[in-house]
Amino acid sequence: MINERVPVVERILGANERLAADNRARLDEAGVFSLNFLASPGAGKTSLVEQTVSRLAGQLRLAVIDGDIATSLDADRAAAAGATAVQINTGGDCHLDAVMLQGALDVLDLSAIDLLIVENVGNLVCPANFALGTHRSVLVASVPEGDDKPYKYPGAYRGVDALVINKVDLLPYVDFDMEYFQRGAAALNPGLATFPLSCRTGEGLDQWLEWVTNMTRHFKTTRGM
């Protein structure tokens, strides 16, 4: 029996890539810089969204698209922090895809947005395989997850543009070797922009916010907006 699984998967991913390119072109035309947040459950994606939105709301016009299997809890938190927020419920899918993002873009006024943050479903496997059309991808890791994650989930670490190491305030209480963790990430993704921080205490957030602001402004400047 011929195994049809591989060709089917290739067709699905190929179709998703084409739609992702359409999403990127749409964001480019509107002058909206976009970030895709990836993480395992509990790493602190939503806390980072809240901190980013609340601290940059006076400088940038922000919107957040939240992906979750169910509920609107994360979108509610993003809205409370000051962003225009849209919730995508995947109904069981472990990732967002380009079709889902396309539908969410339809309900946003892109002309009123400088920075769009997409909070993907909490998972270190599936989201890494599905392009959305965003400009950069950010992986949010956390100290309590352990220092072996780059070694166990190489695909997630290879494909991102920035790494946030959240909950560094717990380092005195958790068996986490920062040098070992960063060595693993660097081997997979040399030169990766890395931001150790704590959303709870605020430690390291200034460096992260500076990176986000500079990336957004550079994007808009290069497009004459």
Task: Provide the mean pLDDT of the chain.
Answer: 93
- Smallest Cα–Cα separation from 26: which of 108, 129, 89, 118? 108
- Smallest Cα–Cα separation from 115: which of 182, 43, 37? 37
Predicted pLDDT at 15: 87
Tell me the per-residue pLDDT of 60-103, one tens digit each, with 9 for 90 and over: 999 999 998 888 889 999 999 999 999 999 888 888 999 999 99
- Smallest Cα–Cα separation from 176: which of 148, 196, 204, 146? 146
**CA pair distance 172, 162, nearest whole angstrom:** 24
- Smallest Cα–Cα separation from 23: which of 81, 86, 93, 106? 106
Could you give the percent of the chain with pLDDT greater than 90?
Answer: 83
Question: Domain of 118?
Answer: 5-222
- Smallest Cα–Cα separation from 116: which of 77, 73, 68, 63? 63
Only one residue has tokens 């901190």, namely 51
Q: Calculate mean pLDDT across residues 156-179.
A: 97
pLDDT score of 45 more than 50: yes
The neighbour count for residue 15, using CB atoms within 10 Å, is 13
Q: Calculate mean pLDDT across residues 30-53.
A: 97
pLDDT score of 8 more than 60: no
- Report how many domains make up the chain: 1
Could you give the percent of the chain with pLDDT greater than 70?
Answer: 94
**CA pair distance 14, 121, nearest whole angstrom:** 21
**CA pair distance 33, 207, nearest whole angstrom:** 19
Q: Calculate mean pLDDT across residues 37-51.
A: 96
Identify the sign of the CA torsion 123, 124, 125, 126. Answer: positive
Instruction: Write the CATH number for 32.
Output: 3.40.50.300
- Give residue 3's pLDDT band: very low, low, confident or very high (50, 70, 90): low
Q: Which two tokens stand for residue 21?
A: 């390119």
pLDDT score of 225 more than 70: no
